[in-house]
Amino acid sequence: MMPVPVEHSPVNSKAELALLHRLCKSSSASAVLALWASGLQQLTGCDRADIYLLDQSHSLLVRQISASPEGTRQDNSYSEPADYRHDSLLSAALLGQTPLHLNTAQADGHFRLDFLQAGHTGLPPHTMITALPVRDAANHNQGVLVLLGGRHDDSSQQHTASLTGLCTSFWLQYCRHQQLADCVRQRTPTPAPRPVPLNHSYGLTGNSEAIRQLRRLISKTLHNQSSVLITGETGTGKELVAQAIHHHGPRRSFPFQVQNCASIPESLLESELFGYCRGAFTGADREHMGLIRSAQGGTLFLDEIGDMPLSLQAKLLRVLQEQSVRPLGDTRSYAVNVRIVAATHQNLPDMVASGRFRQDLYYRLAQFPIALPPLRERKDDIALLSQHFADEFAHHARLPAPVLSPALLERLESHHYPGNVRELKNMIERTLLMHGHEASLQPGHLPPELFEQACADQQTEVEDLGAGKLDERLNYLECRVLEQVLHKYHGNQKLAAQELGLSRGAMNYRLKKHQINARNWRI
């Protein structure tokens, strides 16, 4: 980037040419500022060169950098309102049409020299001060350059015009680097903070064969760019698997964007994914990048992809094929580097056969399919999951570490879990919320509907009570009936005995026989 030359002050010295050459090679706005101050300090031979610039609101004049023979340093220790007060030397220089050349003795009494006391102490009484405004190409004031010390013949008109031209060139180059940095920030998303690395389990709790197979599939898909289609019933942890793929792969330093395709209407989903230009439709008062471009370099997780309308399926297919996206109302396409991970609880092959899902999009998404097992097929993990959720909730709720009794875990393992892992998590949290003060959680502390469902299952599946003689099966049924009635009356033995038509002695005998503690059902 070449600085714009100033017509009325041609560069005519080797030192100025060398300084402009170094300016052309500057790589950032901060480098331009440092060269600006140090270059002019060396060029003029002054004791110190300070650069003051207006802030974005043009209401405050702030010292940005100072250079002396000892070195250059950023210095924001002084600022003053840019209200063009004539009693301030900086304001006078900012407002005046010609630079100011005077010594401290001449300035004292005419101007306020607060900026000298802020970081410039011990100056001789006849130190030369040169203050000239920094202007852009349109001759608008942008700041003030102050040179302290130097020679009196440096106040010549030619010398001042040369300094003014150099300041304009530096200002333009400084602005261009700032604009370039803004463009880079807009086009390249800021890398998200790198998450704490998870262990080899990928954040998945369990030791069942189904979970071990799932971990093997995740490990195979980490370091390739194939689209991933995660299928499974509601509540099986599809988003958790998508996060594991992102956070353990090479894209973990870039954004992970999530969109549920079933949560918003079609028109909003299109603008949310693909973005839009200002004025593309009523209410579009600004440009919206869209989630696809926002996930640049990272991963876009599309949950419930089976609910995406057919019209948007075609646009998504184009993004996958061409690796580019065109926002609504725009005539340009933008290249994107995004990995798509989709998930659904629906049967996409059946939807393809019925014409509700595009076949070509299905094959694009299912380059690497991962099917999640329901919780009822991995009951060996229920105890580990229950303890994990209990510890997690207790930590956040500041409750004592929970103890899950074997009887409670047995009851949890007998449930069918139509809501899968999500249902188990909600059940554990609800139990702790109600009975977190208990030293040990028992089956009677579980939500009533779980117990009622278990009893209904037992009543409708008598043939599954297991092998054994009649007495053994009757004992099993008697135990379950006792637990059901105790749960109904929250551990009140008197009411439970009355419903069963038993005396208190007979009730106690049967409770001891089956090793049932009625206190476990008390609230």
Cβ partners under 8 Å of residue 85, min gap 6: 91, 112
How many CB atoms lie under 10 A from the CB of residue 266? 13
Mean pLDDT over all residues of the chain? 81
Residues 6 or more apart whose CB falls under 8 angstroms from that of 329 comprise 276, 277, 279, 280, 281, 284
Q: Please tell me the least confidently modeled range out of 392-396, 458-462, 502-506.
A: 458-462
Which is more confident, 138 or 384? 384
Give the residue, 284 or 206, on which the prediction is more confident: 206
3-class DSSP state of 146: strand
- So what's the pLDDT on residue 100? 79
Q: pLDDT-based confidence at 4, cuts 50/70/90?
A: very low
The pLDDT of residue 340 is 95
For residue 202, what are the CA distances in angstroms to 238, 242, 244, 245, 246?
13, 10, 6, 8, 10
User: Rounded to 5 degrees, what are φ and ψ at 454?
Assistant: -65, -40
Q: For residues 445 and 214, which has the higher predicted lDDT (pLDDT)?
A: 214
Could you tell me the pLDDT band of residue 460, with boundaries at 50, 70 and 90? very low
Which of the residue ranges 102-106, 385-389, 496-500 would you say has the lowest mean pLDDT?
102-106
CA distance 257 to 273: 10
Nearest residue to 369 via CA among 480, 241, 270: 241
Mean pLDDT for the stretch of residues 204-212: 88
pLDDT at residue 117 is higher than 70:
no
Residue 514 has pLDDT above 70, yes or no: yes
- Answer yes or no: is pLDDT of 199 > 60: no
- What domains can you pick out in the chain, each with its CATH number? 14-186 (3.30.450.40), 209-373 (3.40.50.300), 375-450 (1.10.8.60), 465-523 (1.10.10)
Handedness of CA 12, 16, 18, 20 (dihedral sign): negative
Q: Give the pLDDT confidence score for residue 227 in this predicted structure.
A: 93
- pLDDT grade for 507, boundaries at 50, 70 and 90: confident
Helix, strand, coil share of the chain (percent; to 5):
45, 15, 35
Helix (H), strand (E) at residue 386: helix 382-397
Confidence of residue 29 (pLDDT cuts 50, 70, 90): confident
Q: Which residues, in sequence order, are CB contacts of 423 under 8 Å at separation 6+? A: 235, 375, 417
> Average of pLDDT values for 441-468?
61
Residue 6 confidence class, pLDDT cut points 50, 70, 90: very low
Q: Name the 3-class secondary structure at 134.
A: strand
DSSP letter, residue 21: H
Which stretch of 112-116, 366-370, 457-461, 493-497 has the lowest confidence by average pLDDT?
457-461
Q: Taking a C-beta distance cutoff of 8 angstroms, is the pair 290, 325 a contact?
A: yes
* pLDDT bracket for residue 200 (50, 70, 90): low
Q: Residue 66: what are its φ and ψ, rounded to 5°?
A: -135, 140
Non-local (6+) Cβ contacts of 180 within 8 A are: 1
CA atoms within 13 A on the CB side of 91: 17
- Residue 492, number of CB atoms within 10 A of its CB: 15
Whole-angstrom distance, CA of residue 423 vs CA of residue 407: 19
Contacts of 208 (CB under 8 A, 6+ apart): 378, 380, 381
Weakest mean pLDDT among 212-216, 453-457, 470-474: 453-457
Per-residue pLDDT of 343-365, as tens digits, reads 999 999 999 999 999 999 999 99
Task: Tell whether pTM > 0.85.
Answer: no
Cβ(312)–Cβ(266) under 8 Å?
yes
Q: Is the confidence at residue 451, as pLDDT, over 50?
A: yes
Comparing 3-12, 33-42, 381-390, 442-451, the range with the smallest average pLDDT is 3-12
Between the alpha carbon of residue 338 and those of residues 270, 277, 321, the distances in Å are 17, 21, 12
Q: What average pLDDT does the segment 81-95 reach? A: 71
Residue 11's pLDDT band, with cuts at 50, 70 and 90, is very low
Q: Give CA–CA dist 37/179, Å, rounded.
A: 21
Question: What whole-number distance in Å separates Cα of residue 500 and Cα of residue 520?
Answer: 19
**Exposed e or buried b per residue across 20-52, where buried means at least 16 C-beta atoms within 10 angstroms of its C-beta:** beebeebeebbbbbbbbbbbbbebbebbbbbbb
Which of 500, 474, 503 has its CA nearest to residue 486? 500
Higher-confidence residue of 400 and 113: namely 400
CB atoms within 10 A of CB 198: 13
Say whether pLDDT at 461 is over 60: no
CA distance 38 to 31: 11
Q: What is the pLDDT of residue 331?
A: 82
* Interval 192-220 mean pLDDT: 76
For helices 470-488 and 504-513, give the axis angle rounded to 10 degrees.
Answer: 120
What number is the average pLDDT over the span 463-472? 62
| Residue-level pLDDT at 31 | 87
pLDDT of residue 250: 85
Residue 158 has pLDDT above 80, yes or no: no
Which tops the pLDDT comparison, 284 or 249? 249
Over residues 268-295, the pLDDT tens digits come to 888 889 888 887 777 777 888 889 999 9
State the amino acid at position 55 in one-letter form: D
CA 517 to chain centre: 50
pLDDT over 80 (residue 407): yes
Q: Which residue has the tokens 């150099």?
A: 166
Query: What was the pLDDT predicted at 159?
Result: 73
Residue 302, pLDDT > 50, answer: yes
Q: What is the per-residue pLDDT across 44-68, written as a single tens digit (0 to 9) for each?
A: 888 888 998 887 767 778 888 888 8
The residue ranking higher by pLDDT, 399 or 280, is: 399
Question: In whole angstroms, what is the distance from residue 412 CA to residue 402 CA?
Answer: 16
